[in-house]
């Protein structure tokens, strides 16, 4: 977790986005024009977590949410030039490294690890805490960080 916090701080300082946001940007760069549902599957997370991160990226002007050409009920996500610029200059995310490591485990080990983590969270009193994307700050934390950056006169370094 310490490595994750250090990585997250470095990403936020350099690119002006959280590591979870960078993970979503990189995923969208690899699969442009996908839906939230597709993004949930690719990031191995929940709809609400991805929707929150995507909302922040849309608000920041790094992602657009448009109506799909083949189905007017479906929304598709695309990087803006600012989003592509961040992806071009960014390192591989810690989330992707963890996913790749997880896929190297046998299916039995994956199930065992997932079960143990679930038990641990329940025993620690976190069973009812809604899941979020790894290393994504809460709305309140994100707002505080944004205010601090503005107060210091920092805009996103690549925009």
66-121: per-residue pLDDT in tens?
999 999 999 999 999 999 999 999 988 888 888 889 889 999 999 999 899 889 88
Given this model, what pLDDT does residue 140 score? 62
- DSSP bridge pairs for 77: 34, 65
Task: Spell out the residues 6+ positions from residue 5 whose beta carbon is closer than 8 angstroms to its own.
Answer: 135
CA 135 to CA 152: how far, in whole Å?
23
CATH number of 2-151: 1.10.10.10
Share of the chain above pLDDT 70, in %: 80
Mean pLDDT of 47-58: 94
- Whether pLDDT at 159 is above 50: no
Would you list the domain boundaries of the chain? 2-151
DSSP state of 137: P
């Amino acid at each position: 977790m310490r490595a994750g916090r250090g990585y997250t701080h470095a990403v936020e300082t350099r690119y002006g986005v959280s590591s979870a946001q960078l993970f979503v940007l990189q995923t969208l760069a690899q699969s442009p024009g996908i839906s939230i549902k597709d993004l949930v599957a690719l990031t191995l997370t929940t709809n609400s977590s991805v929707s929150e991160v995507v909302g922040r990226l849309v608000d920041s002007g790094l992602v657009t949410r448009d109506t799909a050409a083949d189905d007017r009920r479906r929304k598709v996500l695309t990087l803006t030039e600012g989003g592509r610029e961040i992806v071009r200059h960014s390192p591989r995310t810690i989330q992707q490294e963890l996913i790749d490591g997880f896929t190297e485990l046998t299916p039995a080990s994956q199930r065992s690890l997932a079960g143990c983590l679930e038990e641990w969270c329940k025993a620690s009193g976190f069973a009812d805490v809604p899941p979020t994307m790894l290393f994504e700050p809460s709305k309140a934390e994100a707002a505080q960080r944004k205010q601090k950056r503005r107060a210091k006169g920092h805009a996103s370094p690549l925009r």
